[in-house]
Structure 1
Amino acid sequence: MYNKFDYPELLISERKATNINSMVRLFRPKQWIKNIFVFLALLFSGNIIELSHVVNSCIGLILFCLISSSVYILNDLLDINADRIHPIKKFRPLASGAVSKVQALVLLIILCPISLVLSFWFNYNFAAVISVYFILNVLYTIKLKKIVIVDIMVISTGFVLRVISGYIVINEEISLWILLCIFFLTMFLGLNKRKQEIHTLNSNAKEHRKILNEYSVELINQILPIVASCSIIFYSFYTFQVSKNIWMVLTIPSVIYGMLRYQYLSLKSNVGENPEIVLVNDIPFIVNFVLLVFIAITIKFIKALPFAFS
């Protein structure tokens, strides 16, 4: 049995592999799942089987993954000291020292321009949206995240921009009701995240995020029912007034269940700080989401109905 310490070349190879893995984690690929909001336009437009629309939506998704990773790297560079006192974020590549500041800066300088150039090459209107997204997140990282309530609204606006970009790449008319629904839905997620951060950090909350000093569990618990209700109401307006088929009302129960299930898991399993965990690990939530997509697609294919609501 050989000892790897007797073979310096093996140690060098291991270190390189570890460093590459850390750089990949710096992109936060697990959070790319947030960019599936680009596909909402494809789902609700009823053109989900049109190949050109699917391809354009996939390209939009990839470009949003690249630009969002640029934002994550920038955020980690600026928040490195705060992340080091967080029980979970201290293991991030920069906070843990697995990736140096110079390496992260080089990646940012390469990744961000590539994302923007490819976006302009793909679609000018899409590029405009993705540029606004990047600028908004830079402002968020520097200043806006320090303003109570505004910080959550900025995050929600980022998701709205994802949805808008999805409509742009398939050249479909944008639904205001869907945008309002997404805005309040993501505010719901963001507030749950703030509440979980308060629970997780306890007395260190202010040191990690000064803005957490402005929040309280009581305040968040009062706001959550408002934003959750707004999200459901605006989605219902969409199904009644904008969707091309009244049978879209059948998707409302799935939307309500998804929000209630997420709220349940936030309280029961403390997953509020990482919404992506719910999206990929909770079986009932995944089944409900698949059912929602199935119902929406099936309804779009129904050409003739035995009767209609007046």
Structure 2
Amino acid sequence: MNHIVLKKERNFATFVLNILLEMRIKQWTKNLLVFASAIFSGAILNPTTLIDAFIGFLSFSFMASTIYIINDLVDVEKDRRHPDKRRRPIASGAINIPSAIVLAVFTFIIAAGLAIYVNNYVFLAVLVYFVMNLSYSLYLKHVVLIDVMIIAAGFVLRAVTGALAVDGILTSWFILCTLGLSLFLALGKRRHELLLFKDDPTNQRKVLNFYSVELLDQLMNIITAVLIMFYSMYAASEEPAMMFSIPFVLYGIFRYYYLIHMKNAGGKPEEILLNDKHILVTVVLFSVCVVAIKKFM
């Protein structure tokens, strides 16, 4: 009897683990951008602001999980031929398709409910993200250049959602900085994917047929320069002390660029944030620097 109970408990634990893997909790680190407005306004230490930002973060994260599930359902056959994606719960068969559909509906309802709890503007922003990424999953991911623009727009929406959640102020420079950073990450991801399948291009996503490493390197060079200029202009337009945050931005960009070109990284930005100590420490120090400047100067 005890053996049967233990087996059921293990099966349940495995099922829960597969659900969490399918929701890609690790990739929720991308949604930390929701906190950006609260950080740059200096109000992140205010309990009410922090709670609103956190609920907005959860709402966006559950909606992102909904998109991940839908995307895996659409690409299930292709993912089974991918060296890494074949291990995903849906592709591997750990979660069957009907269960995956139920999970997608469940995460969507949670995301919508949390967004409405914050305010209607957050709900609208999260809904726009859902529609935009649904279009991406069904068609736009196959359109060259538009695919990376959609990814970048998703990051901008994260920042906008954070501002709407805490009644923050969105400046044009802040939006441009977010756009520049997201394009930088998206291009790095495409470059990594292109190199990953260079020996077997038949299994790569269709849109990669229209890219080359040389093209992506040139685009990354352009966006790197533009991103540094955007942030420098943003810092100069704020308090003079914000200029002290520029070295953190420079080092973070240079470090990421180093990882892309020397370590063949860039495929999973969220893992780089968690696994590369240099990037992680830089992000933490940058956040502390900005909060301190906004709070005390």
Does the TM-score normalized on the shorter chain lie above 0.5? yes
Counterpart of 2:290 in structure 1 is 296
Residue pairs, 1:188-207, within 5 angstroms: 188-207=184-203
| Cα deviation 1:244-302 (Å, max 9, x = unaligned) | x1110111111111011011112222221011121111111122112211221221233
Query: Structure 1 residue aligned with 2:158, among 156, 162, 166?
Result: 162
- The worse-fitting range, judged by mean Cα deviation, of 205-214 and 33-42 is 205-214
Counterpart of 2:258 in structure 1 is 264
Cα 1:53–1:9 change in 2 (3 A) is closer
TM-score by length of 2: 0.95
How far apart are the structure 2 equivalents of 1:103 and 1:301? 47
Query: Structure 2 residue aligned with 1:106, among 102, 105, 111?
Result: 102
Query: Structure 2 residue aligned with 1:150, among 138, 146, 158?
Result: 146
Q: CA deviation at 1:151?
A: 0.3
Query: Structure 2 residue aligned with 1:281, among 271, 275, 279?
Result: 275
> Superposition RMSD on alpha carbons, in Å?
1.6
Q: Secondary structure of 2:144's match?
A: coil
Q: Secondary structure of 1:202's match?
A: coil
How far apart are the structure 1 equivalents of 2:77 and 2:198? 18
Counterpart of 1:307 in structure 2 is none
Counterpart of 1:128 in structure 2 is 124
How far apart are the structure 2 equivalents of 1:73 and 1:175? 33
Q: Is residue 176 of structure 1 aligned with residue 169 of structure 2?
A: no
How far apart are the structure 1 equivalents of 2:170 and 2:63? 22
How far apart are the structure 2 equivalents of 1:148 and 1:238? 30
- Which runs of no fewer than 5 residues in structure 1 stay unpaired? 304-310
Query: Structure 1 residue aligned with 2:81, among 85, 108, 128?
Result: 85
Does the 8 A contact of 1:181 with 1:234 survive in 2? yes
How far apart are the structure 1 equivalents of 2:195 and 2:201? 9
Q: CA deviation at 1:121?
A: 3.0
Query: Structure 2 residue aligned with 1:221, among 207, 217, 235?
Result: 217
Counterpart of 2:50 in structure 1 is 54
Residue pairs, 1:20-59, within 5 angstroms: 20-59=16-55
How far apart are the structure 2 equivalents of 1:94 and 1:50? 41
How far apart are the structure 2 equivalents of 1:105 and 1:146? 23
Identity of aligned residues (%): 36
Q: Is residue 66 of structure 1 aligned with residue 62 of structure 2?
A: yes
Query: Structure 2 residue aligned with 1:249, among 227, 237, 243?
Result: 243
Q: CA deviation at 1:14?
A: 2.5
Q: CA deviation at 1:31?
A: 0.2
| Cα deviation 1:62-94 (Å, max 9, x = unaligned) | 111111111110111101111111111111101
| Cα deviation 1:12-33 (Å, max 9, x = unaligned) | 4323322221111110000000
Counterpart of 1:306 in structure 2 is none
- Structure with greater Cα Rg: 1
Q: Secondary structure of 2:198's match?
A: helix
Does the 8 A contact of 2:58 with 2:114 survive in 1? no
How far apart are the structure 1 equivalents of 2:169 and 2:131? 25
